[in-house]
Structure 1
Amino acid sequence: MHCKRRMWSGLAIFLLTVAFIGFYMQMNCYSLPVQRHSTDIKEPLPESNQTFTTVPPEDPRACSCTKCVSEKDVSAWFDKRFDSNTQPLLTAKDDSLPQPALSWWLALQQSHRDVKVNEVVAEVLSVLPGTSQNRTEDSSKCRRCAVVGNSGNLLGSSYGPLIESHDVVMRMNKATTSGFESDVGRKTTHHFMYPESAIDLQADVHLVLVPFKPLDLQWIASALSTGHITKTYMEVKQFVKADKDKVSVISPAFLKYVNDNWTEHHGRYPSTGMLALIFALHTCDEVSVFGYGADVNGNWHHYWEKNKYSSAFRKTGVHDADFETETLRKLAKERKIRLYTPERTARPINKSINTLEGYQPNSR
């Protein structure tokens, strides 16, 4: 009798133990997948329709491009030179220019030291209602810019459609498109000039004045109003056709910044082509460069010129074309710009080019 009781007791204990073990294993079996999925972050997350930028959200230059030109920690060489706090344009908020920049600027073309620059700036800004930073306000977009120089290497390039595919197309000085559309395109959104290189513009084009002296500021105010200035060191346009609301002025402080950080005091001051390029780095998200350098035969000329053997610009010594070329080449090597060479194939080629845009005597 006692043996039967011990047998049934042992069996009951055994069954309870088995049941407990089974229940425990079942509970852990169900919990493991939940625990694994909650800690495993190596699996790819589902794709989202949201566009993410490669620049940290706190960066005011954030964009939706695959790569943004102002993105930091990509090129130490670029980061050393690029200062996002330097504003390219002169605005109504500028009460006065920094003294170092002012002194340097006045010395460029031996301007009179007693000129009242603040009064000149105030006069210009009173004539130009559109004095604001020329920068897209929607940082969720990818602003693609083409900077088009005037080199004869554009002839036969068939780059016209590619240039026009950009959101912004920047040209400079006496650049013309009529008759050269297949190679240079017809689209222009921004045109850089100074009094001696001025041309009339279409109503939808932004005129960007590059002032190398105070008289240049006075000229733009005159050319858009009274027309009382007709000569600088040479005869200049009395009036210029342009939309006042779309006129901007490069800040002399920006000129000095380009001279200090990018051309590093090589030459008396940077060329218009160099200034336009650095302006693009500050206002665009992707930058493509066309029409800089000699043609495929090493000749220097503007693409609309008949004299293909003109190289007088190198005799002035105002700009150090060789150093500017090295800077352009380095920007391409560091993948900050797409550099298009004279070859017909519509693709960027990051290899050396001879130098920047050709210049004539007294050109900028």
Structure 2
Amino acid sequence: MALHRRLVVGVVAVGSLLCVYMLCVSLDGPLSWSMVPFRHLQGFIRGTNESSSRDSEEPLDRETSRDQWTRPPPAAQHKPAENNAPDVSKSSSRTDEADGTRTKGPPMLQLVQADGPTEPPFIGDTYMSEDIPPLTQCPDNIRSRVTKTAFGGRFLEHIAVLQWAGHVTPEQHQRLSRYPGAHGWGELDYKTLVETLSVLNSTSSWQLLDDWPDRSNKSECIRCAAVGNGGVLKGSKKGKEIDAHHYVFRTNGAIIEGFEQDVGSRTTHYTFSTNTMMNSMRAYAGAGFRGPPQSKETRYVFLPDHDRDYLMMKAAATHRLVERGREKDKDPSRYFGEDVSAEKLKMYHPDFLRYLRNRFLRSGILKTRYKNMYRPSTGAVMLLAALHACDQVSAYGFMTPDYRNYSDHYYDSTYHPVGFFANHDMRMEMALWQQLHQAGLIRLYMHA
């Protein structure tokens, strides 16, 4: 009888342990992070730091892809937070370098993350917002049209596109240190951050189109051309049309000399990371790329993929050699010209880059082990920045469904098929350009 009681007690104990184990397993399961309807939540949603795999040897960004689309898929129905978050920070003021006068800086707002099923910590759907008045009263601008499209729910009109001195606080450093790579300050020490962004302290630092009053010529609308390097431009004879825009954006290995008839000759904004610029100079030297375009009107827009970008920015703005890192003792004037100044230098805000990834190019790569390497390509960031800053945008040299008819780049002397890398999703970018074109938000150049 005693033996029987011991057996019963043993079975009950084992059963209890099994129940506890099964409960723990169920609680430890993966959390869902598919797109869900958003509602406001006051304050920040805190994430945790993850060990990151930094793509320090990022392959050259591509504007074309290998896979074929017969038609673009429908735009994903993202439903992000409303763009009317309460002001939870104070306005900032700054000293203008040019004349030392005190000037009111753009008020900074925090857009809070949506309420709903918990997102993975690295997503971080919380962004810096700045209430900067529009430069024009264009009656047919992108902001007025986007609300009538499938992109209206995910487009944040007041997203901070650029980072500048007013953004550097210990609180912001703590918040953005959760995110690695281009999407935060996860591997950037506070001292380097302060020293770099302190030079970005004039009105030109937070305005992508800072010289609009000087070039508007009483135009009601700002017209921008975003020029990729895709082979679709070869023989296009679009050079004059491109140069006729108010602003002309280019990126990475943008070879102009000898190709003006097809790609134009002006560059007002050159987007790059230090890594992609250096890679382009090595890879395309034979085709004639010696470095970024240089002109009086050219602005240099850093995509801060690594601490290398902050170090190069600081050196360029202060006319000194790069103090440490991979570019140690290099002279930035070689790349940006002898007349480079802080007013000609800009840097994308990591919140803007994470916003583009989360709401426009949220790739399935984010569910793989390459998630910390993934970001939109440099060309994609350039085009989407123009979409947020300009009234009208035309895109040239980006991938179209007939991409296999063209070489990788317009300057290739022989046909080169394009390749894929885990840090970008070119298939998704190709579909996005088609969707934006069909929605009337950009005008995408395609062969007839």
Indicate whether the TM-score tops 0.5. yes
Alignment of 1:151-170 (within 5 A): 151-170=230-249
Change (3 A) 1:209 1:73: closer
1:133 paired to 2:207? yes
Name the counterpart of 1:214: 307
RMSD: 3.1
Measured in 2, the distance between the counterparts of 1:296 and 1:252 equals: 31
Letter in 2 for 1:151: G
Measured in 2, the distance between the counterparts of 1:236 and 1:228 equals: 5
Alignment of 1:1-364 (within 5 A): 60-61=133-134, 63-71=136-144, 74-96=147-169, 97=172, 99=174, 101-106=176-181, 113=187, 115-116=188-189, 118-128=190-200, 130-135=204-209, 136=212, 141-198=220-277, 199-200=291-292, 201-224=294-317, 225-228=319-322, 232=326, 238-239=331-332, 240-242=335-337, 243-244=340-341, 245-267=343-365, 268-293=374-399, 297-312=404-419, 314=420, 316-343=421-448
Change (3 A) 1:255 1:98: farther
Instruction: Give per-residue Cα distances to partners, 1:135-188, cap 9 Å, x unaligned.
Output: 446897310000000001101000001101100100001202110010000011
Change (3 A) 1:87 1:341: same
Decide whether the 8 Å contact of 1:69 with 1:336 is kept in 2: yes
Decide whether the 8 Å contact of 1:105 with 1:252 is kept in 2: no
Measured in 2, the distance between the counterparts of 1:270 and 1:236 equals: 30
Decide whether the 8 Å contact of 2:225 with 2:395 is kept in 1: yes
Q: How big is the shift at 1:341?
A: 0.9
Measured in 1, the distance between the counterparts of 2:322 and 2:433 equals: 39
Measured in 2, the distance between the counterparts of 1:257 and 1:76 equals: 18
**Structure of greater Rg:** 1
Instruction: Give per-residue Cα distances to partners, 1:63-92, cap 9 Å, x unaligned.
Output: 444521011564341111210121110112
Name the counterpart of 2:110: none
- Bigger drift between 132-141 and 301-310 goes to 132-141
SS at match of 2:226: strand
- Bigger drift between 239-248 and 72-81 goes to 72-81
- TM-score after normalising by structure 2: 0.56
SS at match of 2:225: strand
Measured in 1, the distance between the counterparts of 2:244 and 2:443 equals: 14
- 5+ residue gaps, structure 2: 1-130, 278-290, 366-373
Measured in 1, the distance between the counterparts of 2:302 and 2:396 equals: 21
Change (3 A) 1:226 1:90: same
Q: How big is the shift at 1:202?
A: 2.1
- 5+ residue gaps, structure 1: 1-57, 344-364
- TM-score after normalising by structure 1: 0.68
Decide whether the 8 Å contact of 2:142 with 2:392 is kept in 1: yes
Q: How big is the shift at 1:122?
A: 2.1
Measured in 2, the distance between the counterparts of 1:253 and 1:142 equals: 27
Measured in 2, the distance between the counterparts of 1:330 and 1:247 equals: 31
Question: How many residue pairs get matched?
Answer: 280
* Structure with higher RCO (Cα < 8 A, 6+ apart): 2
Name the counterpart of 1:24: none
Q: How big is the shift at 1:251?
A: 0.8
